[in-house]
A and B are shown apart, each in its own frame.
Chain A
Amino acid sequence: MSVLDELVAGALEDQRTRERTVSLEDVRKAALAAPAPIDAKRWLKRADGIPVIAEIKRASPSKGHLSDIPDPAALAREYERGGASAISVLTEGRRFLGSLDDLDKVRAAVHIPVLRKDFIVTDYQIFEARAHGADLVLLIVAALDDAKLRHLLGLAHELGMTVLVETHTREEIERAIAAGAKVIGINARNLKNLRVDVNKYAELADDLPHDVIRVAESGVFGAVEVEDYGRAGADAVLVGEGVATADDHELAVERLVKAGARVKASETTPLSEHHGPYWGQFGGRYVPEALITALDELERVYDEAKKDPEFHKEFMTLQQRYVGRPSPLTEAPRFAKLIREKTGLDARVFLKREDLNHTGAHKINNALGQALLVKRMGKTRVIAETGAGQHGVATATVCAMLGLKCRIYMGQIDARRQALNVARMRMLGAEVVEVTLGDKILKDAINEALRDWVTNVKDTHYLLGTVAGPHPFPEMVRDFQKIIGEEAKQQLKDWYGIDHPDAVCACVGGGSNAIGVMNAFLDDERVNLYGYEAGGNGPESGRHAIRFAPGTGQLGMFQGAKSYLLETDEGQTLDTYSISAGLDYASVGPEHAWLKDIGRVNYSWATDEEAMNAFRDLSQTEGIIPAIESSHAVAGSFKAAADLKAKGYDKAVMIINISGRGDKDMATAGKWFGYLTDDQTAALEVTGAHGNTVA
């Protein structure tokens, strides 16, 4: 006799005992006379959360005694206050130590649906559930034959109750659906480890009819399982021990409810309007508590500004009159010919010319937007990090224009390879601090900026330069950068009469120019999106900044957000390398991590060599010298063209985002291509301006 058979036999025997006191007819009458049930289906599925069915559970055959629960009504009320959508009451008395008395008490105590959980195999038990005020009953497929299942389901439905039909296998699910089940409980526990077996769950729950509510029934203990099940598509969860045995029941339920809401909020579409803090499983706020007040203030001020037409007006006026927007969309026919020669794709190529913005890169879009927010917050001091120097220059520029005190942190290696930009920032009145800690590159500059911010947060704003870091930075920087793609889309239509591009290519360090140019196209499936990371000496060399290729980045928390991260076996951040300072970063913005996971953007990389060849190609075919960062996108366009060709395109319209201009990179390029005499190279060696050595 199996455990289930034993439980059913016991429950049946107990029912017969009760029937000797209260006849079937009496219990039927009581059921019909009971106050109308709540339509529980409406409580078990919602767009903005994962409803929690919290269970009054004293014991179970597998775990024995769990909790005394002397006052089930009080416990149910705590669950309800914590945000539970339904209460499950075990009424089996032998092994679970429950009773109908518990059900009565809970029913009287709460206003949310109540589930009678027992081993139900007779009409009597169904009537009894209703008579005691249950809105839901549990039926276990494994304990019933098809006819019985169909009959009991029908009876419960007739009485206005919802039925949670528990299943363990694909076959049981099919039987449940055939019998007319509307709410299916799926038991997918992997007993070998604690984690919910999401694969097994997904396998079982896959291609269920759309109108069926899926309840994850097993192994839910805390926020981890709610998140796992939620991401695997569960509509609701049932949790027993995790809430029944908690020290603070209300808080335990509240945590589950919050975890569910977070999962739902993290996956909202349209993609182009998605809000932080979470992008799928990525993003968040992995920062010291000391920064939370400042981040909350920033979020609030930004939200107000977003709704204020005056803010938009001021921002757009400055974009036009100070930055020089719109930046043109230039057709590049001679470069397109190169693509055709190399890949066979008959491409029309358009360059989005962020290099023509004031200060020579896209970075000013964001620097300007945030600086205006600084004014609104009434702060007087701005700090920023910079890699290639473009963001530092843009920040120093807007601070000069708006009269804000400005300090820029720059890794010493970057400061050497971009010496000219250091001079520019100082010319603009900014203080430049060369960071000599750690690897002396971008990440170390960010660490120092964060330390400065933690210390001086009262009067200081950290003007983060990319779509990374803690919420609200990824969302806010996206919003300030999305003008790139919006303009490109319009210009393609207005200037060239083309409805939409087939492909958009951008380089990805932190990822702000890529998000900026892609945002307007994220929800248009006709547009293939390509992001190119810094390949350095190639993925096998270990000297690169590729986060997305297999065997490179892993999930981790870095500088405020969860994303992909280059790290050691110990979780220590790995040294990265790229010829381009602006892409030389160990992590990547959380939105990119999400877009990678959902397959919306194709990520690949371009090596130093490929990028430098593209740098030369574009310079010599179109008379446009791209930044080395942008050259990764140019190099990538060949790969994108090959991919389009493989997908069956013969002709294609491609946009490449030229995120910045290459003047700053001439020392590096001059050396790379041997355009300089030995004397000239030696002169650069002395200053360390090519970036390979640090004095």
Chain B
Amino acid sequence: MTNAATTPSGQPLGISHRPSPTEAMFAKFKAEDKPAFIGYLPYGFPDPEVSLDAFRTMVEHGVDAVEIGLPYSDPVMDGPVIQAASSIALNNGETIRRVFEAVETVANAGGVPLIMSYWNLIYHYGVEKFARDFENAGGAGLITPDLIPDEAGEWIEASDRHGLDRIFLVSPDSADERLEVVARNARGFVYAAARMGVTGERASIDASPETLVARTRKAGAKNVCVGIGVSTAEQGAKVGSYADGVIVGSALVHTLLADDNRSPRDTAEGLKLLAAKSEELAAGIHGARA
């Protein structure tokens, strides 16, 4: 009898030396002098089946890595759009056990599957078990908006054993020492928040993310992606001119939300809008340095 944490002979797993999946992606993009496009959508939104179609749609229309969100009852880093989507997903039977179907869907479509989750969900599921199931599903890495490296002992251990990337966040007012802590413990890339605050679309992006990206690189990060507040192709192009990747969330989620911002849009129409938005953003981001 073997289990998650042991080899067939009953020995504990060692450190997996599987190369970082996202680093491999960035290497490819760097060779082409292009930034990667990372798109966010909560799993289970508007319901588990449609969300799988949505993930496939994103990859088919230019999203390179998909940040699969795990809906949470208390998402303190999220603005109204993602809160609404998460709440719809939770009401429509989203479960963490089935998120691995989304991971497989993204991987099969040719995208790099990432998961974004508030820490309590992973902790409750079991950190080691999550890492095993995520790896088995073809997962690349986990973005943890409310887990700082200082508290991440169990996750660092589990991700080392399963060869998964650890994506921590930095923000414009993070001190240099904090950037170093994050860069030192991250694997894959560092997620730089474009501004102070929660997720959501903004009319303009100021200059601070460029400085933050430079500071984070100086602190030792190999790849730095920028998210929070990027919603148009133009903004994507601007950010993509200096960041290794551009992360878009609310603007994509928005396409599947009805105009009241509280209920899901008609599925066919929503997926069409999602495809169009993905393409528009992909063109802007991938062409950032052309």
Q: A residues bordering B, Cβ < 8 Å?
A: 62-63, 66, 191-195, 219, 221-224, 227, 241-242, 245-247, 251, 255, 259, 284-290, 292-293, 296, 437-438, 443-444, 447, 450-451, 454-458, 554-559, 565, 567, 570-573
User: Top 7 A-B pairs ranked by shortest CB distance?
Assistant: A223-B153, A571-B124, A194-B5, A222-B157, A455-B197, A290-B171, A572-B73
Contact across chains for B119 and A290 when beta carbons are under 8 A apart: no
Chain B: number of interface residues, binned into ranges: 35 or more
A222-B157, A223-B157, A451-B198 known; A63+B76 contact, CB < 8 A: no
List, sorted by A's number, 22 A–B pairs whose CB atoms are closer than 8 Å. A63-B7, A63-B14, A194-B13, A195-B5, A222-B156, A223-B156, A245-B15, A255-B153, A284-B151, A285-B148, A288-B76, A288-B146, A289-B170, A290-B193, A290-B197, A293-B178, A454-B76, A454-B197, A454-B198, A455-B196, A457-B173, A556-B123
Q: How far is the CA of A221 from the CA of B12 in the complex (A)?
A: 9
Contact across chains for A285 and B150 when beta carbons are under 8 A apart: yes
Residues B59-104 near A (CB distance < 8 A) = 72-77, 79, 83, 90, 95-96
Q: How far is the CA of A285 from the CA of B147 in the complex (A)?
A: 8
Please indicate the chain A residues that have their CB under 8 angstroms from the CB of B12 in the complex.
194, 219, 221
Please indicate the chain B residues that have their CB under 8 angstroms from the CB of A555 in the complex.
123
Residues B117-163 near A (CB distance < 8 A) = 119-121, 123-125, 128, 145-148, 150-151, 153-154, 156-157, 160-161
Is chain A's interface secondary structure helix, strand, loop, or mixed overall?
A: mixed
Please indicate the chain A residues that have their CB under 8 angstroms from the CB of B178 in the complex.
289, 292-293
Q: How far is the CA of A570 from the CA of B93 in the complex (A)?
A: 11
Contact across chains for B157 and A457 when beta carbons are under 8 A apart: no
Please indicate the chain A residues that have their CB under 8 angstroms from the CB of B184 in the complex.
251
Residues B1-59 near A (CB distance < 8 A) = 1, 3-7, 9-15, 17
In the complex, how many residue pairs between chain A and chain B have their CB atoms under 8 Å apart? 154
Q: How far is the CB of A229 from chain B (nearest CB, A)?
A: 13
Find the B residue at minimum CB distance from A194. Answer: B5
Find the B residue at minimum CB distance from A555. Answer: B123
Of A289, A292, A450, A458, the most chain B CB neighbours within 10 A belong to: A289
Q: How far is the CA of A389 from the CA of B150 in the complex (A)?
A: 34
Contact across chains for A458 and B173 when beta carbons are under 8 A apart: yes
Q: How far is the CB of A570 from chain B (nearest CB, A)?
A: 6
Contact across chains for B90 and A289 when beta carbons are under 8 A apart: no
A194-B6, A219-B12, A222-B156 known; A573+B73 contact, CB < 8 A: yes
Please indicate the chain A residues that have their CB under 8 angstroms from the CB of B121 in the complex.
570-572
Contact across chains for B96 and A571 when beta carbons are under 8 A apart: yes
Please indicate the chain B residues that have their CB under 8 angstroms from the CB of A284 in the complex.
151
Please indicate the chain A residues that have their CB under 8 angstroms from the CB of B193 in the complex.
290
Of A290, A554, A556, A565, which contacts B173 at CB under 8 A?
A: A290
Q: How far is the CA of A75 from the CA of B14 in the complex (A)?
A: 18
Q: How far is the CA of A286 from the CA of B119 in the complex (A)?
A: 8
Contact across chains for B146 and A438 when beta carbons are under 8 A apart: no
Contact across chains for B146 and A287 when beta carbons are under 8 A apart: yes
Is chain B's interface secondary structure helix, strand, loop, or mixed overall?
A: loop
Q: How far is the CA of A570 from the CA of B123 in the complex (A)?
A: 10
Asked if B233 lies at the interface with its beta carbon under 8 angstroms from chain A, I say: no
Contact across chains for B151 and A286 when beta carbons are under 8 A apart: yes
Please indicate the chain A residues that have their CB under 8 angstroms from the CB of B145 in the complex.
288
Q: How far is the CB of B260 from chain A (nearest CB, A)?
A: 14
Please indicate the chain A residues that have their CB under 8 angstroms from the CB of B128 in the complex.
194
User: Contacts A194-B13, A451-B77 given; 16 further ones with Cβ under 8 A?
Assistant: A222-B160, A223-B156, A227-B153, A246-B160, A289-B182, A290-B171, A290-B174, A290-B197, A293-B173, A454-B77, A454-B197, A556-B120, A557-B120, A558-B74, A571-B120, A571-B121
Find the A residue at minimum CB distance from B171. Answer: A290
Q: How far is the CA of A191 from the CA of B198 in the complex (A)?
A: 44
Of B11, B15, B121, B125, the most chain A CB neighbours within 10 A belong to: B15
Q: How far is the CA of A288 from the CA of B173 in the complex (A)?
A: 12
Of A62, A194, A241, A287, the most chain B CB neighbours within 10 A belong to: A194
Q: How far is the CA of A222 from the CA of B161 in the complex (A)?
A: 10
Q: How far is the CB of A478 from chain B (nearest CB, A)?
A: 21
Q: How far is the CB of B158 from chain A (nearest CB, A)?
A: 8
Q: How far is the CB of A110 from chain B (nearest CB, A)?
A: 23
Contact across chains for B10 and A191 when beta carbons are under 8 A apart: yes
Please indicate the chain B residues that have their CB under 8 angstroms from the CB of A224 in the complex.
153-154, 157
A224-B154, A288-B145, A289-B171 known; A559+B74 contact, CB < 8 A: yes
Asked if B168 lies at the interface with its beta carbon under 8 angstroms from chain A, I say: yes
Contact across chains for B197 and A192 when beta carbons are under 8 A apart: no
Asked if B115 lies at the interface with its beta carbon under 8 angstroms from chain A, I say: no
Contact across chains for B9 and A451 when beta carbons are under 8 A apart: no
Contact across chains for A285 and B151 when beta carbons are under 8 A apart: yes
Q: How far is the CA of A293 from the CA of B148 in the complex (A)?
A: 12
Asked if B246 lies at the interface with its beta carbon under 8 angstroms from chain A, I say: no
Q: How far is the CB of A425 from chain B (nearest CB, A)?
A: 23
Contact across chains for B198 and A292 when beta carbons are under 8 A apart: no
Q: How far is the CB of A578 from chain B (nearest CB, A)?
A: 18
A193-B6, A224-B153, A224-B154 known; A292+B174 contact, CB < 8 A: yes
Contact across chains for A255 and B174 when beta carbons are under 8 A apart: no
Contact across chains for B76 and A451 when beta carbons are under 8 A apart: yes
Please indicate the chain B residues that have their CB under 8 angstroms from the CB of A195 in the complex.
5
Q: How far is the CB of B84 from chain A (nearest CB, A)?
A: 9
Of A443, A444, A447, the most chain B CB neighbours within 10 A belong to: A447
Please indicate the chain A residues that have their CB under 8 angstroms from the CB of B83 in the complex.
437
Contact across chains for A447 and B74 when beta carbons are under 8 A apart: yes
Asked if B282 lies at the interface with its beta carbon under 8 angstroms from chain A, I say: no
Asked if B169 lies at the interface with its beta carbon under 8 angstroms from chain A, I say: yes
Please indicate the chain B residues that have their CB under 8 angstroms from the CB of A454 in the complex.
76-77, 196-198
Residues B174-193 near A (CB distance < 8 A) = 174-175, 178, 182, 184-185, 193
Of A219, A288, A572, which contacts B90 at CB under 8 A?
A: A572
Q: How far is the CB of B83 from chain A (nearest CB, A)?
A: 7
Contact across chains for B73 and A438 when beta carbons are under 8 A apart: yes
Q: How far is the CA of A348 from the CA of B284 in the complex (A)?
A: 76
Of B73, B119, B173, the most chain A CB neighbours within 10 A belong to: B73
Find the B residue at minimum CB distance from A287. Answer: B146
Contact across chains for A193 and B5 when beta carbons are under 8 A apart: yes
